[in-house]
């Protein structure tokens, strides 16, 4: 198996077609990893997502330094993994944040099927709270791709 480092453009290409990632955040020296639905915005160099208020939002508010991992796996010899390091930014309802809110909604509408479950009911019958829109401003990213080498 040969493992290749990806260029920034190759990392961006993978992020552009990915909707599922794993968010890593930390609080009080305790790491936490959770799957998230996301949308990459090349122009803003950001990942956009949303969530109801819970552990990940509380932790990212306390420590905005986060990482996100995305992957494409065909089999043990053919896979691609991208790691993004960045900063959590909540998108509120102020007039100053209206462009970011509009951008997030435009991105979400490009793939409306993936974000609808976030508004569903919990198994307890309770309704989700109001979603929190956020983005992760990308500081750095790296990626690797594996392929089976010549025998």
| Domains, the chain, with CATH or none | 2-120+128-147 (2.30.110.10)
| pLDDT tens sequence across 84-133 | 999 999 987 777 777 777 777 777 776 655 554 455 555 665 555 678 89
**CB-based contacts of 66, cutoff 8 Å, min separation 6:** 23, 24, 25, 60, 85, 86, 87, 88, 136
| pLDDT tens sequence across 65-89 | 999 999 999 999 999 999 999 999 9
Q: Using 50, 70 and 90 to split pLDDT, how confident is the model at 31? A: very high
Q: Give pLDDT, residue 129.
A: 66
Average pLDDT value for the chain: 87
- Prediction pTM value: 0.83
Contact 81, 67 (CB under 8 A): no
Instruction: Report the relative pairing of strands 46-51 and 39-41 from DSSP bridges.
Output: antiparallel
């Amino acid at each position: 198996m040969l493992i290749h480092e990806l260029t920034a453009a190759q990392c961006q290409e993978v992020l552009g077609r990915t909707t599922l990632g794993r968010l890593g955040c930390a609080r009080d020296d305790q790491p936490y990893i959770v799957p998230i639905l996301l949308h990459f915005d090349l122009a803003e160099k950001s990942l956009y997502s949303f969530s109801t208020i819970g552990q990940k939002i509380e932790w990212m508010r306390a420590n905005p330094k986060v990482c996100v991992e995305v992957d494409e796996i065909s089999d043990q010899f053919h896979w691609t993994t991208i790691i993004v390091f960045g900063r959590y930014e909540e998108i509120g309802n102020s007039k100053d944040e209206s462009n970011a809110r509009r951008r997030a909604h435009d991105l979400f509408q490009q793939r409306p099927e993936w974000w609808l479950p976030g508004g569903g009911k919990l198994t307890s019958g309770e309704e989700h709270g109001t979603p929190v829109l956020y983005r992760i401003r990308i500081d750095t990213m790296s990626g690797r791709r594996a392929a089976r080498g010549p025998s």
